[in-house]
Amino acid sequence: MPGIRMSMLLPEFVIKDRSIHPVGASVRSSLFGPSDSFQCRFLVFPNGTKSVHQEQSQRSQTQSESLFSAFVELVPPAHMDERWSCASVRYGITVVSQKTGTENIKKLDTFTFSNEHADRGWHDLFANISTHRHFIGRDGEITLQGEVHIPWREQQRVSAWQESFRQLDFSDNQTAKFLTFRLADDQKLVFDRRLLIARSDYFRKMLSSPDWEETRTGEINLRSATVKCMSAILRFILTNSFDTDEDLETCMAVRELADRFCIQPLVKQVDEELTGMLTEENILQILGRLLDTGSEVEAACWKMLETDSNILVKQADKLETVISENPLLARRLILFGRESKPKREPNQV
């Protein structure tokens, strides 16, 4: 239908302290939007991009530390061709005023996003931030809002989620069997095995072979998994959505099960949530569980440690527990500290 668009209003994204970010360093918000279609997020350079800093320095027009750059980044669904494009996308970024009665700064534009140009925005959202003090909070925070409006024709592609259910035959009562999950505290959940087969290679192999005990008994023993965790897995199979409830432990437990069950879209979605939840207080907890996974979350943990070498000092009270419970992580942290420590220059004679 011409003129109809899918609109997404990005949740507020708060840059807490721009002073900790060097020139050219970027931060991203969590992804927002349906996981089977285009999603979007903020890409922010709290102290500006390197290219514009160089340009401004050459012109001697703006002090380098005054720049603030913000962009909207579009991320395609996993099933889309790598040479994707999304034309005529209307997008906007709003800087929220911290002072009552002062208007927000709002910029709007239209752009064709693609694999080569996945983000678009403004290098000089603040050309001179010192003149915009009412947009900076008491603790130095800057709050952004965003919007993305995608033409409806871009949503007409069949999603991988829809495709996985397309071949299901609900008229065949011979395959209409249920699988029982035996969980922690002697609780159980029951689910249609056809849906499990459609959405997971793990269950497809298991339930298609008589050699598996679970196929013969119709039960899977997951005594270490909670009802809350397994319910999140099953809801994702049905709806392709995942709600964290800001519960870090559940997020990590869901990720482990999703990885075991080969439900990679859920693994990716949980990784995005965990990256958004990452803080100095929980970095060792997350890194300990996701060490050597090669995930975006693990990479974000190491990047945070590289950015602020004092994080481990601040978490000194937790290091003894790490050493006793996760010696591999302790060893990696020691090696990381040695590699990141600047080398001393030899004494000159």
**C-alpha neighbours within 13 Å on the C-beta side of residue 88:** 9
CA–CA distance, 332 with 103 (Å, rounded to integer): 49
- With helix as H, strand as E and coil as C, how does 76-120 read? CCCCCCCCCEEEEEEEEEEECCCCCCCCCEEEEEEEEEECCCCEE
pLDDT tens-digit readout, 155-181: 444 456 666 777 677 776 655 688 999
Sign of torsion, CA 306 310 315 320?
Answer: positive
Q: What is the CA radius of gyration of the chain?
A: 24
pLDDT tens-digit readout, 86-134: 888 999 999 998 887 678 889 999 999 999 999 999 998 876 666 777 8
Most confident range (mean pLDDT) of 31-40, 251-260, 267-276 is: 251-260
Q: Which of 187-201, 305-319, 335-349 is the least confident region?
A: 335-349
Is pLDDT above 80 for 84?
yes
Q: Which residues pair with 27 in a beta bridge?
A: 44
Tokens of 195: 């849906």
Q: Provide the percentage of residues in the chain whose pLDDT is more than 70.
A: 83
Amino acid of residue 172: D
pLDDT tens-digit readout, 30-70: 998 877 788 999 999 998 888 766 666 655 554 445 688 99
Question: Measured between alpha carbons, how far is residue 171 from residues 174, 194, 196 in Å?
Answer: 9, 12, 17
Is pLDDT above 50 for 1?
no
For the chain, domains (ranges, CATH) are 5-155 (2.60.210.10), 160-265 (3.30.710.10), 278-337 (no CATH)
